[in-house]
Amino acid sequence: MAAPRRVIEVSFSEKELSDLACVSRSRTEPANHVQRACILLTYREKPSLYATGRAIGVTHQTVERCLRRARKFGVMAALDDSPRPGREPTITSQARTFVVDLACRKPKDFGYPHEVWTTRLLAEHVRERAVAAGYACLARLAQGTLCKILAAPEVKPHKLRYYLERRDPDFDAKMAEVVSVYREVEQLKQAAKARSEETPAQTPAVAIISYDEEPGIQALANKAPDLPPKPMRHRTVARDHEYVRLGTQSLLAGIDLMTGVVHASVERRHRSREFVKFLKKLDAAHPPATAIKLILDNHSAHKSKETMAWLAQQPKGRFTLVYTPKHGSWLNLVEGFFSKLARSVLRHIRVASLPELGQRILAEIDRINRRPVVHTWKWRIAEAK
């Protein structure tokens, strides 16, 4: 006579069924969670330990354990492993605090030449001093155990992360001045839009330029030619790892925030004379009645005697320089343009000569200027309002 079928009653709410269905289809959940979710859903459709086990590919004992956990702890709690007793920890909380305290100090304070701890060095240091400090449980501290101790607290004293000290006492005032220029750009755009609906286009009274330099662009030449992709050999372009340095170029560029046009020149250096040359280029590109306002950083060439002498010769109000705070280059919108250029044109670039590098950079800027994109900084403008 066949034994009666054992049925373990487990109730499911609508939310639990929805959550189980999500887990069963998930590609990111742990595999044991997915399997147990499938067990519970399959068993609900057909309450048989053996049939469920055959459908999922596990034994009926595994199905039974999962169901009993679901009935005892809850449906979603059954997805996790049951807690196991394990052995009592041998390293006390005081000993862990002792380790973290040592990690908070610099190795040079203990006579080591290191600036920061390595886990191997710290583990060795702890083992040598554990017994004398009254923590015999650390006498055989393993490097892996040390890593677990240091990973537990929120503070990570064994790691080093750089920060930038705000050294400009007028940082907030200068930042507000730069952001107000971006706000002025937005207001000028709105005024120009309203004016264009009533009268024909007029020469803009103000040109606002976001300017900076990108120095040290390397001109690298291949020693051997690139190899195109080839089946059964290499799936990508193959490039010899050796190269020749031909020198560097500096890109001087400014984005007209009203029109999106990029004014640029490529020079070997970026001294005062190159900056003045760029200002002359801006002067020639705009009508005499237009006021030119530049957002730029605190590079010495922007404040040099040569630059100031040339600006003093210009008509009053022709050029206005708005400086970003020290270490506040992120306020200059042209930095995003340089980033995009580095990730597109300059990425993996190889040239045959130094002039070729400049020609290719200027060719890309000419291409951009054929369809200029007007840049805005809406978030900062909204914050300034």
Q: What pLDDT digit, counting tens, does each position of 161-188 carry? A: 888 887 888 888 999 999 899 988 888 8
- What is residue 383's predicted lDDT score, i.e. its pLDDT? 47
From the list 90, 76, 91, the residue with the least C-alpha distance to 37 is 76
* Mean pLDDT calculated for residue range 184-198: 79
Q: How confident is the model at residue 345 (pLDDT cuts 50, 70, 90)?
A: very high
Concatenate the DSSP letters of all residues of 3-50 into one string.
Answer: PPPP-------HHHHHHHHHHHH-SSS-HHHHHHHHHHHHHHHS--HH
Give a yes or no: residue 267 inside a domain: yes
Give a yes or no: residue 160 inside a domain: no
**Cβ–Cβ < 8 Å for 270, 250:** yes
* Mean pLDDT calculated for residue range 242-260: 94
Q: Is the pLDDT of residue 380 over 60?
A: no
Q: Is the pLDDT of residue 382 over 50?
A: no
Task: List all residues 6 or more positions away from 295 whose beta carbon is below 8 Å from its beta carbon.
Answer: 178, 181, 208, 209, 210, 211, 322, 324, 331, 332, 333, 334
The domain boundary, picked from 79, 102, 121, lies at 79
* Mean pLDDT calculated for residue range 144-167: 85
Tracing tokens 């800027």 back to the chain, one arrives at 365
Q: How confident is the model at residue 201 (pLDDT cuts 50, 70, 90)?
A: low
- What is residue 87's predicted lDDT score, i.e. its pLDDT? 77
Same domain? For 202 and 339 the reply is: yes
Same domain? For 292 and 339 the reply is: yes
- What is residue 199's predicted lDDT score, i.e. its pLDDT? 59
Coil/strand/helix, residue 141: coil
The domain boundary, picked from 79, 105, 134, lies at 79
Q: Is the pLDDT of residue 6 over 90?
A: no
Give a yes or no: residue 316 inside a domain: yes
Measured CA to CA, the distance from residue 206 to residue 142 in angstroms comes to 68
CA distances from 294 to 15, 245, 322, 332 (A): 59, 34, 6, 10
Give a yes or no: residue 195 inside a domain: yes
The domain boundary, picked from 33, 55, 79, lies at 79
Same domain? For 246 and 368 the reply is: yes
Q: What angle do CA 318, 323, 326 make, to 5 degrees?
A: 165
Look up the pTM and report it.
0.66
- What is residue 257's predicted lDDT score, i.e. its pLDDT? 92
* Mean pLDDT calculated for residue range 211-227: 93
* Mean pLDDT calculated for residue range 178-204: 77
CATH number at residue 335: 3.30.420.10
Measured CA to CA, the distance from residue 357 to residue 99 in angstroms comes to 54
Dihedral in degrees, nearest 10, Cα atoms 372, 373, 376, 379: -160
Q: Is the pLDDT of residue 89 over 60?
A: yes
* Mean pLDDT calculated for residue range 362-367: 95
Concatenate the DSSP letters of all residues of 297-317 into one string.
Answer: ---GGGTSHHHHHHHHTSPTT
Of 10-19, 169-178, 191-200, the one with minimum mean pLDDT is 191-200
Structural domain tally of the chain?
3
Give a yes or no: residue 183 inside a domain: yes
- What is residue 168's predicted lDDT score, i.e. its pLDDT? 85
Same domain? For 214 and 312 the reply is: yes
- What is residue 381's predicted lDDT score, i.e. its pLDDT? 41
Q: What is the mean pLDDT of the chain?
A: 88
Same domain? For 293 and 329 the reply is: yes
Give a yes or no: residue 3 inside a domain: no
Same domain? For 211 and 303 the reply is: yes
* Mean pLDDT calculated for residue range 259-284: 94
**Cβ–Cβ < 8 Å for 346, 217:** yes
- Inter-axis angle of helices 119-129 and 93-103, nearest 10: 120
Same domain? For 179 and 34 the reply is: no
Same domain? For 315 and 254 the reply is: yes
- What is residue 232's predicted lDDT score, i.e. its pLDDT? 84
Q: Is the pLDDT of residue 3 over 60?
A: no
* Mean pLDDT calculated for residue range 225-244: 90
Same domain? For 272 and 349 the reply is: yes
Domain of 293, in residue numbers:
173-227+239-384
Give a yes or no: residue 25 inside a domain: yes
Same domain? For 259 and 331 the reply is: yes
Give a yes or no: residue 87 inside a domain: no
Same domain? For 200 and 268 the reply is: yes
Report which residue type is found at 6. Answer: R
Concatenate the DSSP letters of all residues of 201-233 into one string.
Answer: ----SEEEEEEEEEEEEEEEEESS--B--BTTT
Same domain? For 68 and 147 the reply is: no
Give me the percent of the chain exceeding a pLDDT of 70.
94
**Cβ–Cβ < 8 Å for 8, 64:** yes
